[in-house]
C-alpha cells in the first residue's frame, strides 16, 4: 500500500514553527516512500476559521517547498460526517448527554475528592426514550459522546514511542458533537483519514491520548487504524515551553531574511540523533528521514542556531536561485564574491553599494596616509591584470616593507570603508581600476 500522510491545520491563525515541523515530517515521510502528502484544512470551527488564514497556510507551504499532492476542506464534508455519524448511532456507539459544564465540573471534583479517576460516569446511558422526549419538549438539546469499549485495552505500536497501552476503563467517553450540532476534532478526523486513505499519522505527543480514543473509533467503523507516531514537542532554547514558539511564523522569518532551506534543515532533524546541518536539497532530507532516530526528550528550537544555518544555506545558494532578489546590475561574479560574507541574501545589497560606491572611509593620518598615496602611484604605474590585488600588494610590500595587517588593512579600509569583508582579490575587479584609483587618491 502506498504511504499517504496528511497535515491538518486549523485556519484560525497562521502557521508557526511547531506546525511547520509537523507538516515537514509528514512531507518527508511520504516523499521518502514515494507516497502522497495531503493537506486537510480543519475548518469545522466556522466562527474562528478565516479564509485569509487558509491562503496564508497555502502560501507558507509553497514557500517552504512542501506542496501537497491533494487538498480537502472539512467544511465541505459535513454530509459525509452526518452519514458516518448515523452509522454509529445505529450501532449504539454514540449516545446523547445533557450535563452542563458546571455539572460535569462538580462531578469531577467529587470523584477527585474520593481519590477516584475523574472520568464521566455514563449517567446519560440510563435515560429512557421518554426522558429524551421530555428534555426535547423542555428545549434541551443533547451533546453526543462516543461509547468506548471498556472491556478491552487499547494498544498500538507507536513509530517513535514504541508499544502504547491504555486502559479504556480509565478513560472518559469523549464528546464528539456539541448541542448545536457542530463537530469536535476527534470523529471528523477519523472519518477523513478513512476516506482519504491516510496510512500514516505523524503528530505531536500531545495527541497520544486522542490516538487511544481514535483507535477505537476506527474499529467502530470496521477499519484498521493508520500507523501512528508521536514526536516530542518543541521547546525554547531555555528548555521550557515558549510563547514565542507559538507565534514565530513564516512571515516573520521571511522578513528576517531566513531562507526556507534553513527552516527545513533545522526542523527536519531537531529532536533526532542525526546532525543538524545546512541542506539545500529537500530530496536529501527525505532520503535520510528515519523515525527511529527521534528521541523522547523535548526538541529545543534555538533561533541562534537557525541564523547559523541560514548563513550556511546562503553560502551554498547559486546565483540563479537569488538573482531576482539582488540589486539591479549585480551579476554572478559579484554574487560569488560577496556570498561567503553574507548572513542573509538581503545583505548583498550592502556590499553592492560598497562595490558601486561611494564609500565612507576613515580619516587616515601620518604613515597610513603616505602609504595610500604610494598605493595610488603604484597602481597608476601598473597594468590592470587578472589579479590586480596581488600585483598591487606585491609592489607595495617591496617598496614599503609592510606586511600582514599593516599591508592589507589600510587598503581594505580605503576601498570598502570596512575592516572585514569579501576577499579583496574578488572585489577589486568588480570595483574597477578607475574607481579603485579614485578612492586611493581621495585619501592618500
- Tell me what pLDDT residue 353 has: 97
- Average pLDDT for residues 149-166, to the nearest whole number? 96
Q: Do 86 and 117 lie in a common domain?
A: yes
Q: Do 169 and 200 lie in a common domain?
A: no
Q: Do 217 and 148 lie in a common domain?
A: no
Q: Do 116 and 157 lie in a common domain?
A: yes
The domain of 8 spans 4-71+185-232
- Average pLDDT for residues 414-428, to the nearest whole number? 96
pLDDT band at 248 (very low <50, low <70, confident <90, very high): confident
| CA–CA separation, 189 and 397 (whole Å) | 74
Q: What is the pLDDT of residues 252-304, one digit of tens each?
A: 999 999 999 999 999 999 999 999 999 999 999 999 999 999 999 999 999 99
Residues near 334 by Cβ (< 8 Å), separated by ≥ 6?
Answer: 348, 351, 352, 355, 430
| CA–CA separation, 81 and 230 (whole Å) | 26
The total of structural domains in the chain comes to 3
Q: What is the pLDDT of residues 287-346, one digit of tens each?
A: 999 999 999 999 999 999 999 999 999 999 999 999 999 999 999 999 999 999 999 999
Q: Is 80 exceeded by the pLDDT of residue 237?
A: no
User: By CB neighbour count within 10 A (0-12 exposed, 13-18 middle, 19+ buried), where does 61 fall?
Assistant: buried
Q: Is 90 exceeded by the pLDDT of residue 217?
A: yes
Q: Is residue 434 situated within a structural domain?
A: yes
- Tell me what pLDDT residue 361 has: 92
CATH number of the domain bearing residue 29:
3.40.50.620
Q: What is the pLDDT of residues 4-19, one digit of tens each?
A: 999 999 999 999 999 9
Q: Do 32 and 166 lie in a common domain?
A: no
Q: Is 70 exceeded by the pLDDT of residue 189?
A: yes
Q: Do 26 and 88 lie in a common domain?
A: no
C-beta atoms surrounding 79 within 10 Å: 8
CATH number of the domain bearing residue 141:
3.90.800.10
CATH number of the domain bearing residue 422:
1.10.10.350
Q: Is 70 exceeded by the pLDDT of residue 240?
A: no
Q: Is 70 exceeded by the pLDDT of residue 242?
A: no
User: By CB neighbour count within 10 A (0-12 exposed, 13-18 middle, 19+ buried), where does 155 fall?
Assistant: exposed
- Tell me what pLDDT residue 244 has: 76
Q: Is residue 339 situated within a structural domain?
A: no
Amino acid at each position: 500500500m502506498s504511504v499517504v500522510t496528511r497535515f491538518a491545520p486549523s485556519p484560525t491563525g497562521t502557521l508557526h514553527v511547531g506546525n511547520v515541523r509537523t507538516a515537514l515530517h509528514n512531507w518527508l515521510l511520504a516523499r521518502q516512500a514515494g507516497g502522497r502528502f495531503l493537506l486537510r484544512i480543519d475548518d469545522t470551527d466556522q466562527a474562528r476559521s478565516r479564509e485569509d488564514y487558509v491562503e496564508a497556510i497555502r502560501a507558507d507551504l509553497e514557500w517552504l517547498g512542501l506542496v501537497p499532492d491533494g487538498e480537502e476542506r472539512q467544511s465541505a464534508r459535513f454530509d459525509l460526517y452526518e452519514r458516518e455519524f448515523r452509522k454509529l448511532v445505529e450501532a449504539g456507539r454514540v449516545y446523547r448527554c445533557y450535563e452542563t459544564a458546571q455539572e460535569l465540573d462538580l462531578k469531577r471534583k467529587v470523584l477527585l475528592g474520593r481519590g477516584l479517576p475523574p472520568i464521566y460516569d455514563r449517567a446519560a446511558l440510563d435515560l429512557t426514550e421518554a426522558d429524551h422526549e421530555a428534555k426535547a419538549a423542555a428545549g434541551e438539546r443533547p451533546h453526543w459522546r462516543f461509547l468506548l469499549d471498556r472491556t478491552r485495552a487499547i494498544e498500538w505500536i507507536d513509530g517513535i514511542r514504541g508499544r502504547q497501552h491504555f486502559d479504556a476503563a480509565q478513560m472518559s467517553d469523549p464528546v464528539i458533537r456539541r448541542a448545536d450540532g457542530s463537530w469536535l476534532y476527534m470523529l471528523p478526523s477519523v472519518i477523513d483519514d478513512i476516506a482519504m486513505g491516510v496510512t500514516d499519522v505523524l503528530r505531536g505527543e500531545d495527541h497520544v491520548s486522542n490516538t487511544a480514543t481514535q483507535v477505537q473509533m476506527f474499529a467502530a467503523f470496521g477499519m484498521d487504524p493508520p500507523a501512528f507516531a508521536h514526536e516530542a514537542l518543541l521547546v525554547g532554547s531555555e528548555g521550557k515551553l515558549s510563547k514565542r514558539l507559538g507565534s514565530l511564523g513564516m512571515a516573520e522569518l521571511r522578513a528576517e531574511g531566513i531562507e526556507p532551506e534553513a527552516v527545513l534543515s533545522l526542523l527536519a532533524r531537531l529532536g533526532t540523533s542525526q546532525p543538524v546541518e545546512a541542506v539545500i536539497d529537500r530530496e536529501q532530507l527525505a532520503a535520510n528521514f528515519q523515525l527511529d532516530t527521534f528521541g523522547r526528550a523535548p526538541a529545543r528550537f534555538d533561533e541562534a542556531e537557525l541564523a547559523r544555518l541560514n548563513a550556511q544555506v546562503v553560502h551554498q545558494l547559486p546565483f540563479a536561485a537569488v538573482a531576482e532578489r539582488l540589486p539591479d546590475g549585480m551579476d554572478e561574479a559579484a554574487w560569488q564574491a560577496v556570498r561567503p560574507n553574507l548572513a542573509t541574501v538581503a545583505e548583498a545589497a550592502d556590499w553592492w553599494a560598497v562595490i558601486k560606491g561611494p564609500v565612507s572611509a576613515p580619516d587616515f593620518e601620518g604613515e597610513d596616509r603616505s602609504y595610500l598615496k604610494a598605493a595610488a602611484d603604484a597602481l597608476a604605474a601598473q597594468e590592470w591584470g587578472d589579479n590586480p590585488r596581488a600585483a598591487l600588494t606585491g609592489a607595495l610590500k617591496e617598496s614599503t616593507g609592510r606586511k600582514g595587517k599593516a599591508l592589507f588593512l589600510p587598503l581594505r579600509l580605503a576601498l570598502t570603508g570596512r575592516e572585514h569583508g569579501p576577499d579583496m582579490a574578488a572585489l577589486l575587479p568588480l570595483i574597477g581600476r578607475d574607481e579603485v584609483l579614485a578612492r586611493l587618491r581621495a585619501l592618500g
